[in-house]
Amino acid sequence: MSEIIRARDLVKRYGTFTAVDGISFSMRPGECFGFLGPNGAGKTTTIRMITCVSPVTAGELTVAGMDVRREPRRIKAILGVVPQENNLDPDLSVRQNLRVYGRYFDLPPRVVEERIDESLALFQLSDRQNDRIASLSSGMRRRLTIARGLINAPKILVLDEPTTGLDPQARHLVWQKLRYLRSQGVTMPITTHYMEEAAHLCDRIVIMHQGKIIAEGTPLELVERFVGRQVVEVHVGEGERGPLLDRLAAAEGLTAEEVEDIIYVYVRAENGFDAAALKLDAAKVVYRQANLEDVFLRLTGRGLQE
Amino acid sequence: MTAIAVRRPALRRPDVSLRALRVWQRNRDVYLRLWKSELVWPLVEPLVTLFALGVGLGGLVDLGSGQSYIEFIAPGLLAVWPMWSASAECGWGSFFRMENQRTYDAIVATPVSIEDVITGEILWGATRALISSTYILVVISAWGLVDSPLAVLVLPLAVLPGVMFASISLSYTSVAWSISSLNYFFAVFITPMFWLGGVFFPLERLPEWAQRVAWWLPATHAVDVYRGLTSGNLEWSHLGDVAWILVAGVIFYNIAVLSMRRRLVK
């Protein structure tokens, strides 16, 4: 099978509000596929339709060749889900959480116990297995939630903002585990706000905005296509900005954007920015690599999305 | 291009399976882990009530039928405490699982359907009622307040009012917007049934209109049947009570499923 998840003209409406507005995408087996976008872009709604918990309003959505409308139970049997909010059972121990979850899949107890041992070891939770959830750090809870999502050895692991709220150490540990899972051939649809996370993990990305997909590609492609290689941030006084913007507009291979007190210059070519030629004081110029965040902000705007 | 017919979720037939038992098992596991604190209330309160009302107040009461007051209230309490257990489980308990712990969200991400979750919750509520019935039956038997071996039939029968009360409670929970809004249900519905459902005095003491209202209260029918079984005086009208409980149970089970689906499937 060349595509494991396929959406065609997928729509989700809540009353008159359109949360997902006719999107199409397809995911290949073993791929880590990122959904990026500001709050309210429709990422989580899309994920909820894939996991068969939110009914599709219109369009087509299949998971492993099965229609989400017709075979939700069979689809959910091959999915692992890691939700945005931790919803572990606080009254049960670490091990009991996994055991109870395994039962929902009607797995034989012996298989579940074996998988629990493997999972606890993989996620470095073996010595905490009899502890209560309340005693775990947020990083451990996240790892446990991922371990729980893997209890049915899913073909597809759906991750909704897997590292939100974690400190850098905990985040890197989660990334390391997710990279390992990807190397094991698990398909991973993932939503995230963190561009670094997307660049780190995702083979391909779609950027969503107001319910639509506005760009698609590998992280590198997207950066090259929408931003270029380098970004120059220029801090100049109000009076100098107008003439500078005119000079930049005349220059070859540069795109300039004025945002409050900074001018961002996106540079297509290698060494394409010549500060001296633009009569710029070097102290006011910061050079850096173009990254996904630049793509994201250029495409979805810099306004606050609330 | 072929149009895809999208059925509205509200019209979909409930998708219930045996996986409901997995939800029941989950609740059982949590109960077994917390059993000490879960048991304190249901163990202590019946003893205190029997002592205070049965022994204390009962000494001042002459029913005129030769029956002592404590004998009169025992079968009633056997009916209404399980009502409390089932209702509290599917009221505060279910609301807490649904909204605070997001347990339902976690479960429906697996092959368990939302209808299975609701069914499992109701079966667990009924189980709590059964646990409570068993305990109280043991207590009142030991106290010598049971006259007929037919009282044993209370145990298999207790599942029916258990399912009914759990379903009624979960139906209310499905439209409750906060945990404190459940107070309306318990204050306006459950508590009046506890006091006015024929447990503490014969309903004939009430004015005609109040008796007619009492017929519409689920607890009244459970109290009636249990009185018949513990005293051994069964009448045909008790079959009517059981039928009433069955019908109400089926109706509210369906309301709970549909209304919960409306709330949770979006």
pLDDT tens, position by position, B30-58: 999 998 888 888 888 888 999 999 899 99
Mean pLDDT value across residues B222-249: 93
Residue B116: predicted pLDDT: 97
CB contact under 8 A, B265 and A88: no
Q: How far is A281 from chain B (nearest CA, A)?
A: 56
Encoded tokens for B196:
């006015």
Interface confidence: ipTM more than 0.90 = no
* Residue A243 C-alpha from the chain's centroid: 40
Burial class (CB within 10 angstroms; exposed 0-12, middle 13-18, buried 19+) of B182: buried
Q: Is residue B2 part of a domain?
A: no
Of residues B25, B106, B266, nearest to A54 (C-beta):
B266
Residue B30: inside a domain, yes or no? no
Q: Please give the Cα distance from B217 to B116 (Å, whole number).
A: 28
Q: How many domains in chain B?
A: 1
Domain residue limits, chain A: 5-223, 228-290
Q: Are A81 and A155 in contact (CB under 8 A)?
A: no
Homologous superfamily of A5-223: P-loop containing nucleotide triphosphate hydrolases (3.40.50.300)
Among left, alpha and beta (phi > 0; psi -120 to 50; other), residue B163 is alpha
DSSP code for B232: T
CATH top class, domain A228-290 = alpha beta
Domain residue limits at B68 = 38-264
Residue of A nearest to B21 (CA): A104
B159-173 and B69-88 helices, crossing angle to 10°: 50
Handedness of CA A162, A163, A166, A168 (dihedral sign): positive
**Tokens of residue A149, six digits:** 């999502």
Q: Do domains A5-223 and A228-290 have the same CATH topology?
A: no
Whether B29 is in a domain gets the answer: no
Tens digits of residue pLDDT in B110-154: 999 999 999 999 999 999 999 999 999 999 999 999 989 999 999
Which residues on neighbouring strands pair with residue A50, listed in sequence order?
A: none
Q: Taken in order A60, A64, A70, A74, is the CA torsion positive or negative?
A: negative
Does residue B31 lie in a domain region?
no
Contact B219, B164 (CB under 8 A): no
Pick the residue from chain A with its C-alpha nearest to B117.
A104
pLDDT in the model for residue A302: 67
Residue closest to A269 by CA, chosen among A210, A228, A221: A228
B101 touches chain A (CB under 8 A): yes
Q: Would you write out chain A's pLDDT as a tens digit for each of its 306 residues?
A: 589 999 999 999 999 999 999 999 999 999 999 999 988 899 999 999 999 999 999 999 999 999 999 999 999 999 999 998 889 999 999 999 999 999 999 999 999 999 999 999 999 999 999 999 999 999 999 999 999 999 999 999 999 999 988 889 989 999 999 999 999 999 999 999 888 899 989 999 999 999 999 999 999 999 988 888 889 898 888 888 888 888 888 887 888 888 878 888 888 877 777 777 777 777 788 888 888 888 888 888 766 555
- pLDDT score of B4 more than 70: no
| Nearest chain A residue to B9, by CA | A55
- Among the partner residues B30, B34, B101, nearest to A87 by beta-carbon distance: B101
- Could you tell me the two tokens for A241? 């900005």
The shortest C-alpha distance from B113 to chain A (Å) reads 8
Residues in A closer than 8 angstroms to B33, CB to CB, are 91-93, 96
Residues 6+ apart with CB under 8 A from B91: B169, B170, B172, B173, B182, B185, B186
Comparing alpha-carbon positions, the chain B residue that sits nearest to A101 is: B107
Distance of alpha carbon B65 from alpha carbon A57, whole angstroms: 66
